Chain A
Amino acid sequence: MKTYVARRLLALVPVALVVATVAFVLIHLAPGDPASIIAGPDATAADVQRITQQLGLEEPFPVQLLHWYGRLLQGDLGDSIFLRKPVTAAILDRVEPTLLLTVFAIVIAIAVGVPAGVLSARHHNTATDQTVMVAALLGVSIPNFLLGLLLIMCFSVWLGWFPVAGYTPLEDGILSTLRSLVLPALALGLVQSALIARIARSAMLDVLREQYITAGRAKGLGERAVVYKHALKNAMIPTITIIGISFAILVSGAVVVETVFNIPGLGRLIVSAVLRRDYPVVQGVVLCVAGVYMLINLAVDLSYLLIDPRVRYQ
């Protein structure tokens, strides 16, 4: 078990190194001198000079790369060119809505997806099963930003139940925050619940065919005990993997959905940074999101230790 954890943690090192390098190379991909591109067409030579110095572009490439690693190890992501503050501060300012949105969305995704999948499997090949599966197929075919627009059209424009867009910060009360996040979280969560339902269903179907399920039924266990006590636990192993993947997808989905609902989170931050060519902010948000993504994948792998005893004995 310890070797499993250690191996998994060690595997993160090369990946993190590549991630950091890719984020660094991004700024040098643009044809021409990065400083004058960032400064824009109307910039003076002094502006370009200032940005060159700020980004340390006058040094040779390998030296810049080493400096970059060194700064990252100290948690320093540099300064934003446009916002005139450290990138870490800019990110921290915007984390709250993105975090809440993602968590809210995964709760919806699990609450809808797992029961739908289990229901579908229990009533295999019936009308219920087919309805759930058609809904899930439509769910995986609709992009989250489109679902978001349709939800706004239905629940905000026509019914007027929710605000069209915008975000109420936590300090104004958690209820109004949640209210402002209902539609965006649905847009994100429902799409992922379709994926979760498909996996939960096929995992459940596989487990229900196992011999110990037949044995359980043969010794007279009720259907409830068979499904919820014996089958569900084992069907959760692939399901938790997909929930982890879903969570990671949601983090990046939030980036897009925030634009639909005008939520001032990390997604708005990176998109506006791209439009302003504020590269340090782009790099910072990309690194931050990739870091979260890697940690979630790590958590998924480690969660096997808890839910699948077979991993423990490897």
Chain B
Amino acid sequence: MSVIALPRPEAATRGWPRWLVVFAGRKIALAGAVLMAMVVIIAALAPIISGNPTHMDVAARLSPPSRVHWFGTDDVGRDVWSRVMYGARLSLGVGSAVVVLSFAAGVACGLVAGYYRHLDNVVMRVMDGLMAFPAIVLAIALMASLGPSVLNVVIAIAVVYSPRVARVVRGSVLVIRETAYVEAARALGAADLMLIGRHVLPNCLSPVIVQGSFVFAAAVLTEAALSFLGVGVPPYVPSWGNILSEGRLYIQQAPWLVLFPGAAIMLTILGLNLFGDGLRDLLDPKIRGLSTERHRAS
């Protein structure tokens, strides 16, 4: 458990938003932000800094890293550098889409369950039921019926993680709906929708935002795992999991097929974890430690 170092007011930081100063003052969180920024830049610049990720140069198949192919080539002669760079796009795309989708569903269910007490039991039992499945197993099963495609991967992972978001939202709503300001607004005759939208929702957002970075990390990992197993995005799509899945077959001849996409996954997840820890300390100094570790674990 780290001691919070309060930022000293310095001339150079005056005029900057306080949260930015606090965040930048934590080296670890900053390192996470820098790592994430790198991944975002790579994803954005992929078409400029790399070649065609699906072009096959069969004559050069399984060639080791060289000046032409920085990360070597795979079993059909595709450039691994290009595939790893484009893989960043897929990972970030899937991660963001899952966060948006699981938040839309999770926040809606959490608000309904927390605010309308008679619906609580029904909604949360369904959520408990969904959470009774291990994440990856439910995702695999959903992919079985949805079929392999990028969109279906997003849907499957979002279904898996929305209940986890819903649980966090519901927990906050239960506390907030009993506060004096909600009571006061209700006494003034505010309608339910108005109450939820103006008072309850904005105040339960900060634990949810913290949850966001962990859902993002989990989505990136789950996509990689699904693609690695061959039940995720179709094999021609450049994805870190897909490259690793080929790498497994050629692990003795072509270790670069494992090392480079593996490093990409690790750095991204590391960045997200560091960033998430920093965000958590920043937004929610009260719940540091055990409770959030549990959230992340489940």
Contacts and interface: CB of A to CB of B under 8 A. Distances in A.
Most buried by B among A28, A30, A245, A290: A290
B140 A270 contact: yes
Contact of B132 (A246, A275, A293): A293
Interface in B167-223: 221
Nearest to A238: B290
A98 to B, nearest CB: 12
B251 A143 contact: no
B265 interface: yes
Contacts of B104: none
A310 B69 CA distance: 63
B281 to A, nearest CB: 14
Nearest to B226: A256
A14 B124 CA distance: 10
A195 B293 contact: yes
Residues of A contacting B: mostly: helix
Interface string B111-137: 000000000000001101110111111
Interface residues of B, number: 48
B141 interface: yes
Q: Assign chain A's interface to a size class.
A: 35 or more
Interface string B244-270: 100110011001001000100110011
Nearest to A241: B294
Nearest to B268: A141
A19 B133 contact: yes
B222 to A, nearest CB: 9
A19 B248 CA distance: 34
Interface of A: 14-19, 21-23, 26-30, 137-138, 140-143, 145-146, 149-150, 152-153, 157, 164, 195, 198-199, 202-203, 205-206, 238, 241-242, 245-246, 248-249, 251-253, 255-256, 259-260, 270-271, 273-275, 277, 279, 282-283, 285-286, 289-290, 293-294, 297
23 contacts: A14-B129, A15-B125, A16-B132, A22-B138, A138-B266, A140-B273, A141-B266, A141-B269, A143-B221, A143-B269, A145-B224, A149-B251, A153-B251, A153-B255, A195-B293, A246-B297, A251-B134, A252-B134, A256-B225, A271-B229, A279-B144, A290-B137, A297-B132
